[in-house]
Structure formats: C-alpha cells, structure tokens
Amino acid sequence: MSIPTRQASLKELANVIGANTHGDPDVCISGIATLELAKKNDLSFFSNRKYHQFLATTKASIVILHPDDLANCPSSAILSKDPYLAYAKIATWLTKPITEQVEIASTAVIEDNVSIGNNTSIGAHVVVGSGSQIGDNVRLLAGCSIADDVKIGDNSILYPNVSIYSNVSIGQQCIIHSGAVIGSDGFGISNEQGHWFKVPQLGRVIIGDEVEIGANTTIDRGAIEDTIIENGVKLDNLIQIAHNVRIGKNTAIAGCVGIAGSSTIGQYCAIGGGAGILGHLQIADHVHITATSLVTKSITEAGVYSSGTPLQENTQWHKNFVRFKQLDKMARRLSKLEKKQ
C-alpha cells in the first residue's frame, strides 16, 4: 500500500535535508511505501539489513539509503549516513499540511481571563479554564480539557481528549496524544491504623520544549516540588510518571514504563518498554535500560543495563527457576570448598 503525499522531485526532497543524490533530479514521487510494496512514483528507504532482498527489486522511484548501498539500488536515490533519520525528516515535510484551518469551534467553552495567541485553533467541545495562556499556532483538538492557569507554548498540538490539570506548564512545539493526563494527583497516601489518608499534592508539572507525550500516558503533579520533563524528551504510550520525577533532556522512554516517585532520570537516556524504576533513585546521563528491566538501585555511570531472563520454553524455564532458588546454597557450598583448598 502506498500512502499519498504531496508531489515532489528528487531535487526538492534532497534539499529538505541537504543531501546528495543519484539519478534524475526531476524524477517525482507522490506517495510513500515500503521497499517490498512500493510502485512507480513512490518514495521508500533502506536502513535495516533484514530487508536487503527487497532493495534490488524495489519499484520505488526514489530510495533513501546509505552511500555504501547505492550499487544495489535500481532507483534514483537520496544518500544519507542515517537513512531512517533522513526519511523521518522528509516524510514530515511531505505530509505536513500546507495550510491548516484556524478556528474556535462554537461548542468550545473558554472561561474568563484566557489569553489565546495568533493562528490558534480550538476544536469542538474543548474547555479552557480561567487564567490559562494559549500560545501562537497552537492546536487544541476536539474534547481537550484545559484546567485553570495552564500555559501552553507556541506551535504545540494536543490531540483529542487530552486532559491538563491546573497550573501545568507546557513548552513550545510539544505534541500530546489522545488520552494523556497531565497534572493529576500523585499517589500520596499515609497510613493511620490501617486507614489510608490522602496527602495533598501541591506541586506542578513543568514540561519543556519539543516534548512528545504518547497516548494514555500519565504524568502526576509534584507533592510539594514540581514534576519536570525537560526539553526534547520523547514519551511513548501508556507510561506512568509519578510525582516529583525529573526526566533529563532528550531522553526517550518506550511504552508501559513505570517510574515511581521522586526518581531522577538523566539526559540522553533510553528506557526500553515495560521497564520499572523504583522511587527515589538517580539514573546517570547516557544510560540505556533494556526492555522489562527492573531498576532497584541508582545507576551512577553511563552504559547499558538489563535485568530479568530471556524467554524460554516453559519446561526449561521451570528447571532454571528451581536452580535459581538454590543459588544461595550452592554459593555457600562453593565458598566452603574454596576454603578447604
């Protein structure tokens, strides 16, 4: 299947990212497809060696690839040392609407003392609370709920049914996907003779510029201090970020990660899907945590960290699990044997 785009020539596409080309500079594309399914007038890219067999036979008119792979490409090409990144930038340019409708829907509810910037669009049934500040070129799509005293920076987009609680600050050029909840109460409770007493959550959520937040991700407000998401952070779907967490700039976190309260994640980190991070921990800059790992103590040095065991056939897993429970006894026996030598 080919995804339609605006029409563009090889020369135009290369100019978007300042890349060199091979082939007819005037050849045009009007769609995007995979190497295997592409047809004439489609753009495709090659970045994963697993799909090498499709490169030589692709019918795409233009392929984005590394210069080392040009000899195997039958089409015109855009040359890049990082073809996937080049594709991302070109696809963004190809699919971005040339003009966007700017309006405030008649069913939108806008309270008193709200500041709305130029060229901002507010969709059907959006609610904007008192004292909120909405920047220029912002898009609030249908059903978004913006509470009192919220700030949303220029060029940000909130997809349908995003909920922003009071006193949240969102930076410029942010993308927040449907169902995200930002600024809800953190899980602050105190036990009194078996009865849980709710602790007021008085902090805020501060989100920097160029942050993307996935669908149904939740970010809790701070208990006293603020929950802070720094510039350039990318959050996947279904992530839970608890109160007083701080995530450093340009960190990327995959889906279903849970981060407990008052933990700090460094800059330029990558956290794989399903990982769990306990509370009050410190994660250094440039740390990569692989999928489904459980982080129980602070990480003070950059590097790749993992926990858990890979998938195995169930019978073998049970055998290994039994042996795992015997490790302490085995270690003690080994220690005694070593002392006798």
| Helical packing angle, 314-325 and 327-340, nearest 10° | 50
Clarify whether 243 is annotated catalytic. yes
204, 184 in Cβ contact below 8 A? no
One-letter amino acid of 252: A
Active-site hit among 125, 195, 243, 280: 243
For 223, phi then psi, to 5°, come to -70, -50
Residue with tokens 């000899």: 71
**Per-residue exposure over 143-161, b if at least 16 CB sit within 10 Å of its own CB, e if not:** bbbbbebbbbbbbbbbbbb
Question: How many Å apart are CA 281 and CA 220, to the nearest integer?
Answer: 17
Indicate left, alpha or beta for 116 from its phi (over 0: left) and psi (-120 to 50: alpha).
beta
**Bridge partners of 181?**
163, 218
Which residues, other chains included, contact 339 with Cβ-Cβ below 8 Å and sequence gap of 6+? Answer: none
DSSP state of 69: G
| Residues with catalytic roles | 243
